[in-house]
A and B are shown apart, each in its own frame.
Chain A
Amino acid sequence: DAGVIQSPRHEVTEMGQEVTLRCKPISGHDYLFWYRQTMMRGLELLIYFNNNVPIDDSGMPEDRFSAKMPNASFSTLKIQPSEPRDSAVYFCASSQGQGSYEQYFGPGTRLTVT
């Protein structure tokens, strides 16, 4: 298996632009997680899905952030409009089965908003 796939790996954009991050989980995994990592705050859970359904989005910082999972093999995290404070590494992770805490992370998207 190729593991969790994320694209793009790097994104540089100007403040106010829309940013879309993409994730393909490991086939057969029914949980998908979006995290954000910064030096100041560490790794924070933004939202997670179970069987394509959003379960907890309490970590989404504000209405500028939205996430979707239209099918079992694809998810997006969108920021509109982007702000410099959104600059971070965004990781997608997936896991299998209820109670499984071993999460497999993608390589991350390094976002810079100028």
Chain B
Amino acid sequence: RKEVEQDPGPFNVPEGATVAFNCTYSNSASQSFFWYRQDCRKEPKLLMSVYSSGNEDGRFTAQLNRASQYISLLIRDSKLSDSATYLCVVAWGTLTFGKGTMLLVSP
């Protein structure tokens, strides 16, 4: 069973759309959760942490459901610059990365 599972996409959306990504993880002892962003042929970078109470950073909202072992990322008012691969990351000692969901925002 894969430790962190994501829909690979791609998600094709027009500018201004709202898009949501989901992720499930298998290790119930996982301690911390994150979303990283990876642009094409670039390195991953931390986008935001994910807290149980849910958290928001501008147009981005992350949610965690520990009971269902489920993490989500919502992007409102999509911009062309949001086009990237979004990696769901789970931490238990070290980081375990999902394979990522590709987002393509078109004009």
Interface residues of A (CB under 8 A from B): 33, 41-43, 45, 48, 56, 91, 101-103, 105-108
Which of A41, A45, A102, A107 is B42 in contact with, Cβ under 8 Å? A107
Contact, CB under 8 Å: A103 / B42: no
Which of B9-17, B43-51, B61-69, B70-78 lies at the interface with chain A? B43-51
Number of interface residues of B (CB under 8 A): 17
Contact, CB under 8 Å: A107 / B95: no
Q: A101-B32, A105-B45 are in contact. Are A45 and B98 (CB under 8 A)?
A: no
**Closest residue on chain A to residue B100 by CB atoms:** A42
Interface residues of B (CB under 8 A from A): 32, 34, 42-46, 49, 87, 91, 94-100
Q: How far is the CA of A45 from the CA of B32 in the complex (A)?
A: 17
Q: A42-B98, A43-B44, A91-B43 are in contact. Are A101 and B87 (CB under 8 A)?
A: no
Contact, CB under 8 Å: A101 / B100: no
Q: A43-B87, A108-B43 are in contact. Are A103 and B95 (CB under 8 A)?
A: yes
